[in-house]
Amino acid sequence: MRVLILGISGFAGGHLAPALEAAGHEVIGAARGVQGKRRDAAGRELLCCDVTRSEDVAATFATARPEAVVVLAGMASSPAAQRDPAQAYEVHALGAVHVLTTAARSERPPRILLVTSSEVYGEVSPDELPLTEEAPLRPTSIYAASKASADLAGRAFAMSEGLDVIRARSFNHTGPGQRADFVCADFARQVAGIAAGRRAPQMEVGNLDVRRDFSDVRDIVRGYVAALERGRSGEVYNLCSGRAILVRSVLEDLCAIAGVRPEVRVAAARRRRAEVPVYYGSARKAELELGWRPEIPWAQTLADLYRDARSRVSE
């Protein structure tokens, strides 16, 4: 398939492009910051597209002529969305509607993979775990609410327009190349700085006593490829590990890899409001219908994440 990745310059997009190519697909990338029409270091065609502008989306579709589109364009993190709710809704909800509308009006509508987030589930009770795709959406943050709006728009276009839409709700994922806005990459960057002697042996952290469902980004993008190739139109798939990892253990494991024992300080500014203590999902549906399951051991993910962080600190 000729696949257009909207948001190719982001963390997941950078891993998805080679995964699609390895599976035999042609990749065209688009991102808001691209200047004109050009190619990246791997020779992929790159287009400029701001999904909040319907004319940009229409022009990108006309140039790329995609058979499939992956929607990864979005704000980088939940705190960023909380600081600018209007922008979050513009990018996630309105951006999704622009993509879906353009696809529905195309002469040959492409298949759409709409990537949202596990955060759309929001407030959950212990008896609802592990979260399945049938769990209600009860978002507790601006980021989650705007992603839920996009998710529901995808379902609506599939039902009312007959558009070939698949939705992927990815849970927390990390790995090489992730920005320090996210907890695992943040810990890795701080620990690497201490190990390199670039910062004092002190760390600032948020709530270490929550448990989250962490996967390797390289496994998650394999799930996106599987969803594009084998997903049922109109369906939604959780992509997750199915286990809850204590955030404190992530920090301890990274410190052990680096051989450091820093002083750890909890910073109030790093704590989120309305935080769910334990949060993990079930990927049973993705395993049965897509043939997907995570393969990379968590210890390898952390080792690769630390190695990447150490190289960035050295640079």
Tens place of pLDDT for every residue, the chain, 315 residues? Answer: 999 999 999 999 999 999 999 999 999 999 997 766 688 878 888 999 999 999 999 999 999 999 999 999 999 788 889 999 999 999 999 999 999 999 999 999 999 999 999 999 999 999 999 999 999 999 999 999 999 999 999 999 999 999 999 999 999 999 999 998 899 999 999 999 999 999 999 999 999 999 999 999 999 999 999 999 999 999 999 999 999 999 999 999 999 999 999 999 988 767 776 678 999 999 999 999 999 999 999 999 999 999 999 998 887
For residue 79, what pLDDT is reported? 85
Task: DSSP letter for 281, please.
Answer: B
Residue of 254, 67, 233 lying closest to 161 (CA atoms): 233
Query: Which residue's entry shows tokens 């696809």?
Result: 103
CB 292 within 8 A of CB 223: yes
Q: Which H or E run includes 230? A: helix 217-230
| Cβ burial 109-130 (10 Å sphere, 16+ → b, else e) | bbbbbbbbbbbbbbebeeeebb
**Given the DSSP bridges, would you call strands 68-71 and 45-48 parallel, antiparallel or unpaired?**
unpaired
Residues in the chain: 315
| Cα 295 off chain centre by | 18
Q: All domains of the chain, ordered by start, with CATH?
A: 2-173+214-239 (3.40.50.720), 177-212+243-279+296-314 (3.90.25.10)
For residue 34, what pLDDT is reported? 77
CB 313 within 8 A of CB 192: yes
For residue 4, what pLDDT is reported? 98
For the chain, the straight-line distance linking the first and the last C-alpha, in angstroms and rounded, comes to 38
Three-state DSSP class for 181? coil
Give the CA count within 13 Å in the CB-facing half-sphere of 84.
Answer: 10
Q: Could you tell me the pTM of the whole model?
A: 0.95
Residue of 48, 140, 51 lying closest to 90 (CA atoms): 51
Cα separation, 185 vs 190, whole angstroms: 9
Cα separation, 135 vs 148, whole angstroms: 13
For residue 315, what pLDDT is reported? 75
For residue 109, what pLDDT is reported? 98
